[in-house]
Structure 1
Amino acid sequence: MTGTVLTTRRVDAYHALTVVAPGIAEHLRPGHFVAVAVGGPRSSMLTRRSFSVHDVKPDYGGTVELVFAVRGPGTSWLAERRARDTLDVVGPLGRPFPLPRDPVNCVLVGGDYGSATLFGLADALQRRGCRVDFVIGAESAERVFGALRARRMGETTTLTTEDGSLGMRGKVTDVLPGVIADVRADVVYACGPMETLRGVTAVAIEFDIPVQVSVEEAMACGFGVCMTCVLPVIGEDGITRMVRACVDGPVFRGERVRFEDVGTIPFDAAGAPGAPSASTSPASAGGGGGPRNVS
């Protein structure tokens, strides 16, 4: 749909842009994403840019807020939009985060602007009676998104920066084991850079608790046509398939994503030369993630 820009603002190292898009806001769930056309009608930038959603207000005109970092010409153009400009937006796309049926203790882990997508999830979990604790981190203080909001929403909030400029020095994976143990977590949700998701998944496996990760993959179309966002994921039948993050995710069960093989086609993946024959269906590889805005 064609959405109208309501507000734009800088949030430390990031840009936040609110768009009036009632049809999208009405149906959007935590973990969904949107794809935005960039450059204007005469632009040579043909592919859309995909973004996680920070905030959605279906009851107040139907708005969605996107948070992104400027990485190239597409996001530079988007950062220059002003109130009353229009945007061509497609959404909601992808599979959202699965929510527990019963109240459980949830740890939400965010890296860089990946934490933006966790606040709608936190709200949905709290409406179900779940306890929510945050672990948020980045390289430096200006790249930590949502620290104040996390402190207001969560039972506890642990902040980390690699340079020690905010919170504890280190990475989110350094403090995550202690948080899981202290709050007796039942499940971990995470969104951020792929290396962060890999580390978070390893910690959750060590504690033998489920982990849902919203993967960061470059998405050129957002709805499964271009095949730019494929990654190896293990299905429930134990067979690895190259699945599309935009339609089969972007949220997956962390232990099923072969993080060490992202960017490659593993030799044992279905369809790879010499691999065992198998259906190319995702076979319930995941459940409901965070697209990466790369340019």
Structure 2
Amino acid sequence: MSEVQGPVHVEAEVVATKRIGGYRHLTLTAPGVPERFRAGNFVAVTVEGHVARRALWVHRVRASSSYGPTLDVVVEDRGAGSGTAWLAAQPVGTRLALTGPLGRPFALPKDAVSCLLVGEGYAAAPLFPLAERLRERGCGVSLVVSAPDESRLLAALEARRSARSVTVLTADGSVGLRGTVADHVDDLLRRSDADVVYAAGPHAVLRAAAGAAERAGAWSQVAVETPTPCGTGLCHGCVLPVVGEDGVDRVVRTCADGPVVRGDRVRWEAL
């Protein structure tokens, strides 16, 4: 049977909502989306009172539940009037116009290699389904979960079920090692002896992970987050500066040509 592909536009429903630390976790039914999902994809949701849609990373997909296939997304409430504040406030039973899965997912190694996954805050969400896929392929997975403080760590306990080793970093030292990804990533990469580095989080985290990979001779992929007004590539509002295979500088659309790209291809200084 051929693999199900391509995004769909559906009416999703909130079937569970839970506050965990600084984030709101929503469980959604979205017919056809879980079956098409690949780690690194995202979904775009229409938000009341906003023209631009809100792009959300997918944290977990369940093939079956009492509601059928579901997907979990993580929302960071960014304050009154924001689209994320509206989403975080939606109760069970809310119906949302949703398109997905969107974007290019993470590429998986052909061989069973050692992998280092580096994520910060809510944007670490796509690394959890990625870790599951890598383990299914026999890859050794080391996971770094980072945040400014303990409340904004994403699923640190769950991380220990997803990887052979887990390192927790907080900038304020409230839990785990004190410091940022940039402070520790070179040492963590040496200790993991990883052949591939995957990263998801703020641009500074992605840049640090990609730089460490390049210095160590490893291959890197980063999930870049930029505002995506449409999520489908039509509006060209989410440009990402890269270096092409031919060595020529150009811009691509994060939502359609990304969000996952090679770390050594991003022109970080131009972001």
* TM-score band w.r.t. shorter chain: over 0.9
Q: Is the partner of 2:227 in helix, strand or coil?
A: coil
Q: Are the counterparts in 2 of residues 107 and 185 from structure 1 also a CA contact under 8 Å?
A: yes
In the alignment, structure 1 residue 63 sits paired with structure 2 residue 41: no
State the structure with bigger RCO (CA 8 A, min sep 6), 1 or 2: 1
In the comparison of the two structures, how many residue pairs are matched?
258
| Partner residue in 2 for 1:31 | 40
| Partner residue in 2 for 1:48 | 53
Highest Rg: 1 or 2? 1
Counterpart-to-counterpart distance in 1, 2:85 and 2:188 = 37
| Partner residue in 2 for 1:130 | 139
Structure 1: which 4+ aligned runs deviate by more than 3 Å?
Answer: none
| Partner residue in 2 for 1:91 | 100
1:32-58 CA-to-partner distances (Å, cap 9, x unmatched) read: 00000011xxx3x12210011001113
Gaps (5+ residues) in structure 1?
263-295
Q: Are the counterparts in 1 of residues 59 and 129 from structure 2 also a CA contact under 8 Å?
A: yes
Q: Are the counterparts in 1 of residues 75 and 87 from structure 2 also a CA contact under 8 Å?
A: no
Q: Is the partner of 1:199 in helix, strand or coil?
A: helix
| Partner residue in 1 for 2:205 | 196
Once the two structures are superposed, the pairs formed by residues 70-109 of structure 1 within 5 Å of their partners are: 70-71=77-78, 72-109=81-118
Q: Are the counterparts in 2 of residues 8 and 82 from structure 1 also a CA contact under 8 Å?
A: yes
Counterpart-to-counterpart distance in 1, 2:237 and 2:147 = 26
1:249-271 CA-to-partner distances (Å, cap 9, x unmatched) read: 00000000001101xxxxxxxxx
Once the two structures are superposed, the pairs formed by residues 230-269 of structure 1 within 5 Å of their partners are: 230-262=239-271
Per-residue deviation, 1:141: 0.7
| Partner residue in 2 for 1:211 | 220
Gaps (5+ residues) in structure 2?
1-9
Q: Is the partner of 2:85 in helix, strand or coil?
A: helix
Q: Are the counterparts in 1 of residues 53 and 229 from structure 2 also a CA contact under 8 Å?
A: yes
RMSD: 1.0
Counterpart-to-counterpart distance in 1, 2:237 and 2:153 = 28
Q: What TM-score results when the alignment is normalised by the length of structure 1? A: 0.85
Q: Is the partner of 2:126 in helix, strand or coil?
A: helix
Indicate the larger mover: 57-66 or 82-91: 57-66
Q: What TM-score results when the alignment is normalised by the length of structure 2? A: 0.93
